[in-house]
Amino acid sequence: MGADKALLPYKGRPLVSHMRGILIQSGIQDVFISGDVPGYDCISDAVRHDGPAQAMYYLLERFSTDYERLLFVPVDMPLMQVKALRGLIAREDSVYYEGYPLPACLNTGRGNPESRSVRALLDSMGARSVVLPAAYDRSMSNVNTPEDWKAIAS
């Protein structure tokens, strides 16, 4: 992308603030930012640049005595809908939408520390895929290139 995705301006504020707002609207009371985003209180990765699966595993372990489940939402999904997240939150087990490893709502204190991909981590946790309602298809769009950003931000 050539820039920190979390700080890209979206609807008048940084994307990280936009996504935080979606989480709060979804009913999440405690929102944590994983990684390092300048100007924000964040939880640094245990090993910098070790990938999202390792960051998720670290957080699942770290918060295992504080929370039963964690909802993981990437910062680069600005079209995410509150109802789509609530669909995951409403389930009691570790779940994600079929075809999309993220967002995912996962039970804490589990998983294989050797998982190198999010899908491998989900498999190691016995996470179950659930069908994504068609109304939320567009909300699963993520931003990986300047072209993706232009299409979503316009």
pLDDT tens for each residue of 69-92: 999 999 999 999 999 999 999 999
**Cα–Cα distance, 108 to 98 (Å, whole number):** 21
Domains in the chain, number: 1
Q: Is 154 inside a domain boundary?
A: no
pLDDT tens for each residue of 18-32: 999 999 999 999 999
Q: Is 149 inside a domain boundary?
A: no
As given in the structure block, the two tokens for residue 25 are 């609207």
Name the DSSP letter for residue 153: H
| Residues of the domain holding 105 | 5-142
Q: Is 122 inside a domain boundary?
A: yes
Cis before 78? omega within 30? no
Q: Is 83 inside a domain boundary?
A: yes
User: pTM of the predicted model, to two decimals?
Assistant: 0.92
pLDDT mean over 53-82: 94
SS3 138: helix
pLDDT mean over 120-129: 95
pLDDT mean over 4-21: 92
Q: Is 150 inside a domain boundary?
A: no
- Tell me, what CATH number does 48's domain have? 3.90.550.10
Q: Is 129 inside a domain boundary?
A: yes
